[in-house]
Amino acid sequence: MKKLFCLLAVLFLSACVNAPYINQIDLNKTDFSKIEELKVGKACNAIALFVLPIEYEKSILKAALDADISKIYYIEERNEGLYPFFVESCVMVYGE
């Protein structure tokens, strides 16, 4: 019974790992003086209980097309929610 409990604990804790993106850019070259003028596109997916997709449209292309962005300056990702019941993950695209 003790081995089963340890196995379940390791299994549940291993699901909490989130790997960062490898493609990171240097934002020192980005001009933030006119950040209010940039267009912002947002695409999200929402998942309940880690398995039930409620909304699944998270892509950089969809976010750029929704905001009519042709030149992307930078991309941001947000993860919010009440874990493990509800998780919303969004991609935000900034550009012209």
Indicate the SS3 state at residue 71.
Answer: coil
Query: Domains of the chain: which residue ranges?
Result: 34-96
Helix (H) or strand (E) holding 79: strand 72-82
Q: Whole-structure pTM over 0.85, yes or no?
A: no
Tell me how far apart the alpha carbons of residues 73 and 75 are, in angstroms, rounded to a whole number. 7
Q: Which one is predicted more confidently, 67 or 28?
A: 67
- At 40-80, the pLDDT tens digits run 999 998 888 877 888 778 889 999 999 999 998 888 888 88
Tell me how far apart the alpha carbons of residues 51 and 15 are, in angstroms, rounded to a whole number. 12
- Looking at the predicted structure, is the pLDDT value of residue 18 above 70? no
pLDDT at residue 85, rounded to an integer:
84
Residue type, 18: N
